[in-house]
Amino acid sequence: NAGVTQTPKFQVLKTGQSMTLQCAQDMNHEYMSWYRQDPGMGLRLIHYSVGAGITDQGEVPNGYNVSRSTTEDFPLRLLSAAPSQTSVYFCASSYRRILYEQYFGPGTRLTVT
Amino acid sequence: GENVEQHPSTLSVQEGDSAVIKCTYSDSASNYFPWYKQELGKRPQLIIDIRSNVGEKKDQRIAVTLNKTAKHFSLHITETQPEDSAVYFCAATNEQTGANNLFFGTGTRLTVIP
C-alpha cells in the first residue's frame, strides 16, 4: 500500500494563479479531508468528504474547491491564489466507522507571492 | 463548533524526565480524542487515542487521561528520550456525526535535552 500520497511536494504560485493539489489513497477509506497547517495555529479543516460524490465545508473553506468523483482521489483546487493561502497542506483519510485513525499524506508546501 | 485549546506551546525536559501536555475542549458531544506526533518536516502520525467511555489509556511510555466532566484530556510521556522531541497535537471529534472531522489544538513543541 502506498497509503496517502500528495503531489506536488512544493509549489510556488503568483497571486491570482489557480492550481490543483492532488491527493490519493489506496486503503479504500470512505473519509478524506484537507487541512492546512500554519505556524501557531495547528491544523485546520478546509473541506472533507464522507464518500464519493459527497463533499462539505470545514472550518476554513473560502478560496478552495473540492470534488470527489472516486473513492481514491480528493483534489483541492485553489481558484485564485492569495498570499494568505501560503501554508502547508495535508490530505488525510480514514474509515468512517469503528477505526477512526486518520492517515496523513506527506504534505504540500505552497507559497503564494 | 468545537474549540480545542492546548498548553503549553513549548516544553523542554531533561532526558528521562516526564512530560505532560494538556488540552481542553468545548463541545460536550465530542467523544474521540487522538494525539498526533509530528516530527520536523514530516506528516502528523497518531500515537495514542482515547474514547469518552474510558478514563485512561496506556501504551508503553505514553498515557492519555480524560476527564469528561471538566472537558479536558492530557498526554503523559514518561522516561523521555531525545527521539520524543517533536510537535504534539491533541484533537477532538464527535464520532456520532459520521464525519471524522478532527478539531486540533495549536500544538506543543517538546524538546528533550540529552
pLDDT tens-place string over residues B53-98: 889 999 999 999 999 999 999 999 999 999 999 999 999 998 877 6
pLDDT at A23 (0 to 100): 98
> What percentage of residues in chain B have a pLDDT greater than 90?
89
Average pLDDT over every residue of B41-60 = 93
Q: Which of residues 84-103 of A touch B (CB under 8 A)?
A: 90, 94, 96, 100-102
The sign of the dihedral angle between the CA atoms of B5, B9, B15, B18 is negative
pLDDT at A100 (0 to 100): 72
Assess whether pLDDT exceeds 70 at residue B47: yes
Assess whether pLDDT exceeds 70 at residue A72: yes
pLDDT at A97 (0 to 100): 67
Mean pLDDT in chain A? 94
pLDDT at A98 (0 to 100): 61
Does the beta-carbon distance from B101 to A101 stay under 8 Å?
Answer: no
Q: Which residue has the cell 472533507?
A: A48
Mean pLDDT in chain B? 94
Assess whether pLDDT exceeds 80 at residue A99: no
Determine the distance from the C-alpha atom of residue A43 to the mean position of all C-alpha atoms in its chain, rounded to a whole number.
Answer: 11
Average pLDDT over every residue of B96-111 = 89
Q: Which residues of B touch A105 (CB under 8 A)?
A: 43
Q: Which residues of A touch B34 (CB under 8 A)?
A: 100-102
Contact between B8 and B21 (Cβ < 8 Å) = yes
Average pLDDT over every residue of A48-75 = 96
pLDDT at B97 (0 to 100): 77
What is the nearest CA distance from B108 to chain A, expressed in angstroms?
A: 9
Find, in chain B, the residue whose alpha carbon is nearest to that of A109.
Answer: B41
Rg, C-alpha atoms of chain B: 14
The b/e string for B81-110 (b: 16+ C-beta within 10 A; e otherwise) is: eeebbbbbbbbbbbbeeebbbbbbbbbbeb
pLDDT at A1 (0 to 100): 78
> Which region among A23-27, A45-49, A94-98, B2-6 has the lowest average model confidence (pLDDT)?
A94-98
pLDDT tens-place string over residues A25-60: 999 999 999 999 998 888 999 999 999 999 999 999
